[in-house]
Structure 1
Amino acid sequence: HRGWGQSIVIGVAGAGKEISTRPFQLITGRTWKGSAFGGVKGRTQLPGMVEDAMKGEIDLAPFVTHTMGLDDINKAFDLMHEGKSIRTVIHY
């Protein structure tokens, strides 16, 4: 049915960007939600997540796709922009 369901906006838009919708969708039940940074509340939830990672309860290794020296930092940015890297650790 028109208007039913949820629209989830993920991430942070550039400055000045807007999203448009038809008001009819909202008055017939469509809801909008936003999710920046995966919905994590930095001040209250992040310290506990860091603690869990330090205790080995969260495995971060699968999220690190590349490891490079500082001399290759431009290559790391290129990989990120090309969508070929999740996270690159830079050793300096």
Structure 2
Amino acid sequence: MLKPILCAAALAWAVTPALAADEQDMASAEETAKVAEAIARIGCKPDPQAGVEKERDDLYEVDDAQCEIGQYDIKLNADFVITSMTLD
């Protein structure tokens, strides 16, 4: 009887931080606008469904950006300068 309860508690404890982190990982509206402006200069726009992720305080990621030359994953630093662009 105790084993199933402990397993359920352990699972809930492990999953809760991951779910909370998902909400915190998205860039603010202001940051998203700055990222969109930066990638627009090279003919790209963020996927509205994927949004802009804030991986760290100094790193943003745009998954599935729609560019004139194809679909890319783009990373930008804290100054909104593109540091990586990978064909998706």
TM over 0.5: no
TM-score scaled by structure 2? 0.29
Higher RCO structure, 1 or 2 (CA under 8 Å, sep 6+): 1
Bigger Rg, which one: 1
Q: Which has the higher helix share?
A: 2
